[in-house]
Amino acid sequence: MATLKPFKSVRPRQDLAAEICELPYDVLSSVEAQEAAAGRSMSFFHVSKPEIDLPSDTHPHADAVYAKGAENFQHLLQQGFLFQDESPCFYLYRQIMGEHSQTGLVAAASCQEYLDEIIKRHEFTRPDKENDRVRHIESLNAQTGPVFLTYRAQPELDRIFSSQSSHQPSVDFTASDGVRHTAWTVTEASVIQEIQKAFGEIPSLYIADGHHRSAAAGRIYQSRQGKGDSTTFLTVVFPHNQMQILAYNRAVRDLNGHQPEEVLSTLQGLGELIDSETPVDPTEKNEIGVYMAHHWYRFRISETLAQSGTAVEQLDVSLLQNHILSPLLGIDDPRKSERISFVGGIRGLQALEQMVDSGSHAVAFAMHPTRIEDLMHISDDGGIMPPKSTWFEPKLRDGMFSQLI
């Protein structure tokens, strides 16, 4: 069963939400965050990326950075720009990006269920990134970045969410990137109980995005031995059939001593390679766009190769890694290699062309998005997906909801 609890969220004043709420801390670099927050004292980047308020040579993991984040968070609270609800609530959070709409539940999830793998993961975490999130949460005594979860859609929850989202929203704004963010506060005890009962019948939740945040929350829960509200962590939970996954593309800085013709020959031996006069945006699984030497190719992986191995090995990102990136281009560990760049699909194919045409990279691969069903199936089997297998859009906004622990 999945245990979700209402909590007393720290939220922005309705009239200030658009000014305060920002993209997640790990989507922008420190320089980009500093530019975005310039002249905006209420921007949540002052909390989530507080190094922007310190000298440029400050190490992003210096003690002063975490102390500054805590100071800035307290300032927003003391000035009344952020406030905490008086009683525990659930919240609905709807995002609309173009024609895509998704509505999820903002709730406190169980750290113990994360440790017991009822809340399932599909990626390895890096100790340095875990440590960063632990220090940030401990310094603020709060979780300010929600973990993005999903579950197999349930009609009863669809009904409840539809009914509750017909009420007057507590927050409604459109961000500078055109994504609309709307939230409703669920205070009625009977509705809260209905939601908890419905989730109690769901066997598993799945981490879509936020493995380091959830791992950090689990560590704090253990170190604090469950004191205060450390038993739970901040989440937004969406039904799987509303999730939007974009491609997570790859670009490699050099050809590992090979000529372009050798790369093309290798691809031809692994499937079908077709010249393309236009950029290749893969339309189906086992199809990859290849950009090299100012030219696009459409590469279709052979059926025999695509259907061999485990569910993880059948992912397009795994097929690319195991048959091209590692044996041909020498990218044996994509987590550590500095020769590979991962490019979120939101940046489009033009970004890949620019990387190659500029000479900073030699070849780029445009991927077909990983399916959410594959993510859940692999998680159920205890499998681990390759790094950067999924890029979810739209991104949750930091500062919309925070949980004091």
Structural contact between residues 264 and 362, judged by C-beta atoms closer than 8 angstroms: no
Of 363, 350, 293, 296, nearest to 324 by C-alpha is 363
Residue 112: predicted pLDDT:
97
Q: Give the distance, in angstroms, between the CA of residue 80 and the centroid of all CA atoms in the same chain.
A: 29
The whole-angstrom separation of Cα 19 and Cα 264 is 49
The CA distance from 84 to 77, in Å, is: 8
- Kindly report whether the global pTM for this prediction surpasses the value 0.75: yes
17-68: pLDDT as tens digits: 999 999 999 988 999 999 999 999 999 999 999 999 999 999 999 999 999 9
Amino acid at 317: V
pLDDT in tens, 290-312: 999 999 999 999 999 999 899 99
Count of positions (residues) in the chain: 405
Low-confidence ranges of the chain (pLDDT < 70): none
Three-state SS across 108-158? EEEHHHHHCCCEECCCCCCHHHHHHHHHHHHHHCEECCCEEEEECCCHHHH
The C-alpha atoms of residue 150 and residue 146 are separated, in whole angstroms, by 13
Tokens of 328: 């041909």
Which contiguous run of DSSP H or E holds residue 191? helix 189-200
Provide the pLDDT for residue 335.
86
Domain borders along the chain are 4-244+393-404, 248-368
Contacts of 358 (CB under 8 A, 6+ apart): none
Instruction: Return the ∠ at Cα 150 (arms to 144 and 228), rounded to 5°.
Output: 40
Q: How many CB atoms lie within 10 A of CB 398?
A: 23
* CA quadruple 35, 40, 41, 46: dihedral sign: negative
- The H or E element containing residue 93 is strand 90-97
CATH fold label, 248-368: 3.30.1760
pLDDT of residue 131: 96
